[in-house]
Every structure is written in structure tokens, then in C-alpha cells.
Structure 1
Amino acid sequence: MERKGLTVTMIFLAESANYGEGIGNITTLKKMSRGTYEQYSYISRQAMRYNIIQQLEWDKTPVDGKSGVVQFAPSATIEDYPEIDLFGYMKTTSKADEQKGGATTRSAVARLSNAIALEPYQSDLEFLTNMGMAKRQNLENGIAQSEIHRSYYTYTMSIDLDRVGVDGEVEISQEEKAERVKALLEALCYLYRDIKGRRENLSPLFVIGGRYERKNPFFENRMMIKKNKINVDTLKEIIEDSGIKQFTYAGVTTGIFDNDAEIKQALSAETVGSVFKCLKEEVDAYYGEGN
């Protein structure tokens, strides 16, 4: 069988990187709860996608609102716009146009999960005022509070390599397919997020993944951190399958996790950068095999 499924799971460290609607003068983080009633902040996949597309400068795909909803323009094709090639689209043509009307869709080729905190939210709040500006004119200052949470986060990107650059009768060259996927991997390696005057570094501190026959995101929902240690035993069990182990790459940033020596030994982990280099080589190998 062809190894046409690429998946990579990452851990990064960030602070208060995605906010919700808010209540009164309190700005609330996006959070979810587990059965233990502990709350975990998260960065939505939509927010992650926004930053990836923006930093790749792929946010030039034309849109329109003729159907009553802002969507990608019917004229946009995957040949010209990598954004809709990798992340999919819905394009609606209204009956007022020359065409009879209707919707065409493309499911995502590159699928993102939410980036979910690996450490529970502890109800920390930041007290805020605009006293510095108010004092300039001897005015009353406003008061606000903002939820804050500094934590490790994990998320997964899975890519169907056989679907990249193919949409009906449209198909781009193998070289262009490879370049698009490698550009996406490069963006993940150096990802950041601007929020509330801060620039949060979302570059991975730990990464594990590879190119496999199955398109399963093997390492998604398997990452845990306790006492600043990654759950190496769980990951070792996953890669025991010969169809996984021989194609898996792992990388870790030295000096961050308390068990980085164990990670390097048990998972044959190298640097984060070397993993992304290997994944790019896997992409070149796949599209160079006549696929």
C-alpha cells in the first residue's frame, strides 16, 4: 500500500492565545471541560488556520457575498489558490447568475485539530485599567479583567497527500503539490500568533509524526504532560506497530521537559528542525514516486 497519509502532532508553550465573547467587563478565554470538571483553554482550529494562511501569504483567495453569505468566489480554483486546495471550500452560485445556481464543496485536504491546553486553567485573572491615558486629561479610568492561562498546548495536522492539487478535472504538477505541502510544514515549524499586543511563539517544542499507509492521526488525543514530563510510555505503545515505528520521526527541544533524555532514548528523538526536514523529504519522495 502507498504511504499517502502524513500526520504530525506538536506541543508548544503559549499564554492566553484565544478569547471568546466575554461577560461584562471580563474577557474570557475559550475553554472546554473534562469529566473531572477541570477546564482547559484552547485555540480553535479556525484561529490556527487563520494564522497559518496569513503567514504563508495565502490569504489572497477572492471572496464574494452574492449568495447572501461571504464565501470563496465561484471563479477561484485550486490551481491558482493553495488556500482552497489544502483547506477546502464551499462556493455558492446564485440563481441570478448565468448558471442555474447551487453549491460546490471541497473537503479539507489538510485537517487541523484545536490546540488544547495540557494543563488545567486555574481561574487566573489579570486586572486592567487605562489609568495611563485617563491621567492625561484627569478623567476617570476604566477597569476590566482578562482571564489568563499559560500552558503547554497540543494539536495535530493531517494531510491526504493523494488529494493535494486534484479537484475534478483540475490537477496541478507534482512539483507544485510538493511545494505547497512543504510550505505548510515550514509554516507549522515557525508559527506565531498576534493577540492583544503580544506575539506568541507557537513553534513546536516537541513533534512526532510521519508518512503512513493509514491516514489515521495516530498521536492526536494521546499527548499528556505531568510534572513537566511527556507521557513517553503511551507514545512507545503507539509506535510498536511495525507499520508505524519505521516511518515515525520525533523531535524535542533540549532543556524544556524534565524527561527529554528519556524522550530522546525511547523515541529516538532528534531536534524539532530535523523532524520537519525529514517530513519534507517524505513529501518529495511521495510526489517523486509518480503519484
Structure 2
Amino acid sequence: MKRAVTLTVVANMTSNYSEGLGNISSVQKIFKEQHVYAVRSRESLKNAICVQAGLYDDLETSVDGAAQKLVSAEKNAATCRALEGGYMSTKELTYIRNSSFYLTDAIACDAFVNETRFHNNLYLASNQAKANGFSLQVKGNAEKAGLMPYQYEYDKSMKVYSLTIDLEMVGKDENFQAEAEPEEKADRVLRILEAVRSLSLVVKGNLDNAEPLFIAGGLSERKTHYFENVVRVKRGALAITQDLKDKLSEDFSCALLRGDNFSNEDEIVKELDPLSMKQFFEQLEERVKSWYGL
């Protein structure tokens, strides 16, 4: 029986930022296979998807030592979409409900190459100096006007991440013996899928189109990231392996955003016969509706 939606996505996206040192910001990275790779963390990715999907529209927070999602008998995962991604409430009694969907880090396909960008707020500082009748050229006035150079590492590259949704868990909260209607369950899943399909990120004030360039997956019997280990991109080429083909043959499909995003696009089309992104998501959405009896 199909019990989950599993997807593995290749997207061109920026990394999120880790700790800064003074006025220097560095992108988040991991070390594997003797190389350093830029990443967008699973937490950052999940937050972006939840926000774009509208799952956080009804989010309320409470503070009990630390800020946490507000949970109660009336406001639980069945009645509040913001709690679908899981919660731990320590107010009065402790309640824990795991997320019904899981993401991996979005890891760059190729090793990190440092690209540093240098900026300053010269226009704002000049405006401040002009308004107060002094010159930035005079020693000490730059600090007085708030002139500040800053720099940050920049990375936008192909990254791979996986998403798995437990269809049996969506809309249920065993802590309060509550369960949403099938229509609400399906709507939550469809919102997540639509967010993945048209994902946009705002990074350092810049809009980042992180829509899928290639995607593989569908409804699955196993609640796991089924394609995580077979979707690989090296030097701009998607690895077309027998294992990838075998997995796709198990009632899964793939889709390609055509536009020479991959150096072996013709080979992908010939060997995998991918759907368009529109076809892939429309078919998957219909299967989700059918799974919930709609």
C-alpha cells in the first residue's frame, strides 16, 4: 500500500548563512568526501516551504523559557496547520508531536568555490552627511555618518534535497485524539507540493528562484527518501544510472525543466523520458487527492 510521498529535487538555489564574524558573513557548509560543500540546511528549507505553503498563516507562539509553538486541546495538529511540521510544548504538561514531513539538507552538487562580495552603505552615509552639513572626507566623519563596509560569501549552485510526506500522519494529533477531515489533509499536502514546485527564497534581500530543475518520485510504500542515493549531478550532468532507472520503474516518475540546465539534457530526455514539471505535479496532486478519497 502506498503510504507516503517521496521526492528528490535538483534546484539552483543559494545557501543560507551560518555564523558571522564582525561584518563578514559566511555561507553554511558541510565536509564530505574530502571536499567542502555549500548547503541550505533542512531547517531553513523547511521554514521556507512552510511559509510559502501558507502553513504558518495560523501560527501562534508562546514563551516558556524559550519561544515555542502554541499548543492546546483546541489548537493542535488537527486544527492548526502550523503544527503539521511538528512541535514540542512544555507549557504545563509536555507534549511532543513529530513532523509528518521530513527534508534533507540541500547540498551543492559540486565542491564549494569561495566567491566573496564586497559592499557598503555609502549612499545612506552620504545622505546622512549631507543632511547634517559635513563631509565624509574629513577624518572621523565616516564613522559619524554610519559608513560601514561589509562582505559576504556568495553561493548559488545546483543543490539536491529530498522531501518525504507521511500521508497517514498528516492532520492527526494523538496527544489530543484529534484528526482533520480528508479534505484538510489533502489540502495541506497539496500546499507543500505547490511550494516545492514554485519555491522562491529571499536571501540578503535578493529574490532566489529555487524551482525544481529535475525531480524524481511519487507515491511510495516506504516512508523514506527513496531517491536520495541515486540522484547525482557532477559538473552539470545528471548521472543516469541503472539504479535510478530501476527505482523509476517501480511506479515512480521524473520530470525535467527543459532549458539546457543540464549539460546532458538530450541524454536525460532519451534515457528517462521525463514529464514536464506541470505534468508531474498535476499527476501527483491527483494521486494525493485519490489517496484521501477525494
Compared CA separation, residues 69 and 135, structure 1 to 2 (3 A): closer
Matches within 5 A, 1:13-28: 13-15=12-14, 17-28=15-26
**SS in structure 1 of the partner of residue 286 of structure 2:** helix
Deviation at 1:185, TM superposition (A): 0.4
Q: Deviations over 1:15-34 (max 9, x none)?
A: 3x411111232111111112
Matches within 5 A, 1:40-59: 40-59=37-56
Superposition RMSD in Å: 1.8
Deviation (angstroms), 1:150: 2.2
Which letter maps to 2:203? I
Note the residue ranges of structure 2 that are not aligned, 5 or more in a row. Answer: 130-134, 137-141
Q: Are 1:239 and 1:248, in contact at CA under 8 Å, matched by a contact in 2?
A: no
Provide the rounded CA distance (Å) in 1 between the counterparts of 2:245 and 2:82.
Answer: 32
**Matched AA of 2:193:** L
1:245 equivalent among 249, 270, 279: 249
Q: Report the counterpart of residue 283 of structure 2 in structure 1.
A: 278
- Equivalent residue of 2:243, what SS? helix
> Moved runs in structure 1, 4+ residues, more than 4 A?
none
Letter in 2 for 1:104: Y
Matches within 5 A, 1:102-121: 102-121=93-112
| Alignment-derived partner of residue 258 in structure 2 | 254
Unpaired runs of 5+ residues, structure 1, are 95-101
Q: How far apart are residue 111 of structure 1 and its match? A: 0.6
What residue identity is the alignment partner of 1:54? V
Give 1:186's aligned residue. 194
Q: CA deviation at 1:239?
A: 4.3
> Is the 8 Å Cα contact of residues 2 and 219 (structure 2) preserved in structure 1?
yes
Deviations along 1:34-77, one digit per CA (max 9) or x if unpaired, are: 232x2111111111122122222222222211x31211223221
AA at the equivalent of 2:257? T
Contact 2:117 2:154 in 1 (8 A): yes
1:229 maps to 2:237:
yes
Match of 1:211 among 190, 204, 219: 219
Say how many residue pairs are matched. Answer: 273
Q: Does 1:125 align with 2:131?
A: no
**What residue in structure 1 maps to residue 150 of structure 2?**
144
Q: Is the CA contact (8 Å cut-off) linking 1:264 and 1:270 kept in structure 2?
A: no
Identical aligned residues as a percent: 29
For 2:88, the equivalent position in structure 1 comes to 90
2:98 aligned partner, one-letter code: S
- Correspondence for 2:8: 9
In 1, Cα distance between the equivalents of 2:114 and 2:211?
Answer: 26
Q: What TM-score does the superposition give when structure 2 sets the normalisation length?
A: 0.87
Corresponding residue SS for 1:93: coil
Change (3 A) 1:239 1:163: farther
Distance in 2 (CA, whole Å) between partners of 1:28 and 1:171 is 43
